[in-house]
Amino acid sequence: MWTDTTRVQHARKEQCLPSDLTDGEWAVLEPFFPRPSHVGRPRKWPMRRIVEAMLYMLRGGLPWRMMPPGFPPATTVQHYFYAWRDDGTWARINHYLIQNARIAQGQ
């Protein structure tokens, strides 16, 4: 049930898009993603923006080729998405979030 408190708590006024992450949401997810390497070329796009692009595409059910301007290139986002699928990153995030939800419910 929505109350005045929960509406303020879950408001997304500061995000450009509804799929953008709040600072709190990013703080929970950030430890699951790889840190920048000390060798090689530095990243061109912040990891947060890559994850937000994935969330935008998945939420809208859009194909990769329809990535809107302002996001990283579709090939970059697609590369990370499939790499994290294959190495189990998404499964680890899902497991962690389910555990936290069960603990919050007292189970």
Distance from C-alpha of 59 to C-alpha of 9, rounded to nearest angstrom: 21
- How many other CB atoms are there within 10 angstroms of residue 72's CB atom? 20
Q: By C-alpha distance, which of 11, 10, 19 is closest to 77?
A: 19
Residues, the chain: 107
DSSP-derived secondary structure letter, 18: T
DSSP-derived secondary structure letter, 17: S
Cα angle for residues 57, 95, 66 (degrees, 5° grid) = 5
* Predicted TM-score of the model (pTM): 0.79
**pLDDT digit string (tens) for the chain, length 107 residues:** 667 776 666 555 565 677 788 888 999 999 999 888 889 888 899 999 999 999 999 988 999 999 988 899 999 999 999 999 999 999 999 999 999 999 988 87
Structural domain spans, the chain: 15-29+44-104
